[in-house]
């Protein structure tokens, strides 16, 4: 009887050891393939940026080689200086910053006030109005281009800062995002503030904005990035050099009279333009992730 029990104990220990080894093997292989997948995805994402950088450091003859080189034979740092002067990047940066900063500030004011109204105030038809507002998200933005163009043309706004700022101050998506975040704040705080005689604007400034700050920072960054990357609308309504933005200013700045484009210098200009957005994402990515994730949680 004792021998049988000892045999069962030994077999049980062997089964445990075998299971532990199998778990270790599965863990090692799972970790290996997980990191392999992440490496492949990172390579696919980062390779275009790498190619942009090395292309910006090549000479034009090397760039045109039928067999591409993966590192410049001669590093041409002068391409960056030439790109800055050829495209008047100083003026383009100034115009883009003016449009981006002003449109972001005004859009934030409109978004915060609208989100607060739909999240806290009670009035007849609020849900129907908000549903209609959300329904506009189903309409492609391109459908508004013709009517917006005709409107700003009749107003005499062509080739002005106003035409680049005003038509896109309201974003239904940002209103929805912030409204969902505001609704997570307990309504009892609002009712207690009203009992104490606090005005709506004071409650919004002192309570709701600080609690929803990650989402507001996310909206600020996304709005600024949208203004920075805007292409089609500025191309239609602001073609003069005094109001041209970065995305349009780089289009034909590096093409000579014979129609030949200096691609390495153009890549250098694109790299310079990409640096601000890259730095913004690196330093504020946690706010973007936190703000977007919080807006989808109820309670």
Please give the average per-residue pLDDT across 31-60, as a whole number: 91
**255 beta partners:** 261
pLDDT value at position 113?
94
pLDDT value at position 15?
62
List pLDDT tens digits, range 98-149.
Answer: 999 999 999 999 999 999 999 988 888 888 999 998 898 888 877 888 888 9
pLDDT value at position 238?
84
Q: What number of other Cβ atoms are within 10 A of residue 259's Cβ?
A: 6
pLDDT value at position 12?
58
pLDDT value at position 101?
92
Please give the average per-residue pLDDT across 240-260, as a whole number: 78
What value, to the nearest 5°, has the Cα angle with vertex 56 and ends 55 and 60?
A: 75
Helical H runs in 196-231?
A: 200-203, 209-211, 213-229
- Whether 164 has a pLDDT exceeding 70, the answer reads yes
pLDDT value at position 293?
58
pLDDT band at residue 297, thresholds of 50, 70 and 90?
very low
CATH topology of domain 87-295: MetI-like fold (1.10.3720)
Residue of higher predicted confidence among 20 and 45? 45
Q: What is the pTM of this model?
A: 0.77
Q: Nearest Cα to 168, choosing from 246, 94, 229?
A: 229
- Whether 276 has a pLDDT exceeding 90, the answer reads no
pLDDT value at position 299?
41
Mean pLDDT, the chain, whole residue set: 84
pLDDT band at residue 288, thresholds of 50, 70 and 90?
low
Contact 236, 144 (CB under 8 A): no
pLDDT band at residue 195, thresholds of 50, 70 and 90?
confident
CA atoms within 13 A on the CB side of 245: 25
Rounded Cα distance, 245 and 89, in Å:
9
Rounded Cα distance, 118 and 122, in Å:
8
Rounded Cα distance, 4 and 133, in Å:
76
Q: Which residues contact 243 (CB under 8 A, 6 or more apart)?
A: 95, 159, 160, 161, 164
Structure tokens at 203: 């409650």
Give Cα 84 distance to the centre of its chain: 25
Please give the average per-residue pLDDT across 216-226, as a whole number: 88
pLDDT value at position 298?
47
- For 141-193, the DSSP string reads GGGGHHHHHHHHHHHT-TTSHHHHHGGGS--HHHHHHHHHHHTTS-HHHHHHH
- Whether 60 has a pLDDT exceeding 80, the answer reads yes
Domain residues of the chain, as ranges? Answer: 2-56, 87-295
Please give the average per-residue pLDDT across 266-273, as a whole number: 88
Tokens 């602001």, residue located? 238
């Amino acid at each position: 009887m004792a021998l049988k029990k000892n045999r069962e104990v030994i077999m049980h220990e062997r089964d445990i050891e075998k299971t532990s080894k199998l778990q270790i093997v599965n863990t090692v292989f799972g970790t290996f393939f997980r990191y392999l997948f992440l490496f492949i995805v990172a390579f696919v994402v980062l390779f275009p940026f790498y190619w942009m950088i090395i292309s910006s450091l090549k000479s034009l003859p090397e760039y045109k080689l039928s067999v591409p080189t993966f590192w410049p034979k001669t590093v041409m740092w002068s391409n960056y200086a030439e790109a800055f002067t050829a495209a008047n990047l100083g003026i383009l940066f100034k115009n883009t910053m003016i449009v981006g900063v002003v449109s972001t500030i005004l859009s934030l004011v409109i978004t915060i006030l609208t989100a607060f109204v739909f999240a806290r105030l009670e009035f007849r038809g609020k849900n129907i109005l908000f549903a209609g507002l959300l329904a506009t998200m189903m309409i492609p933005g391109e459908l508004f281009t013709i009517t917006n163009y005709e409107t700003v043309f009749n107003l005499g706004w062509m080739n002005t800062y106003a035409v680049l700022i005003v038509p896109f101050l309201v974003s239904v998506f940002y209103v929805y995002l912030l409204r969902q975040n505001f609704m997570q704040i307990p309504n009892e705080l609002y009712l207690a503030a009203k009992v104490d005689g606090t005005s709506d604007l004071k409650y919004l400034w002192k309570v709701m904005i600080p609690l929803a700050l990650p989402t507001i920072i996310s909206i600020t960054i996304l709005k600024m990035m949208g203004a920075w990357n805007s292409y089609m609308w500025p191309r239609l309504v602001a073609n003069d050099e005094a109001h041209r933005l970065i995305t349009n200013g780089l289009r034909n700045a590096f093409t000579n009279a014979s129609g030949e484009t200096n691609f390495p210098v153009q890549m250098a200009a694109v790299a310079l333009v990409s640096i601000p957005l890259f730095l913004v994402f690196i330093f504020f990515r946690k706010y973007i992730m936190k703000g977007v994730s919080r807006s989808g949680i109820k309670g």
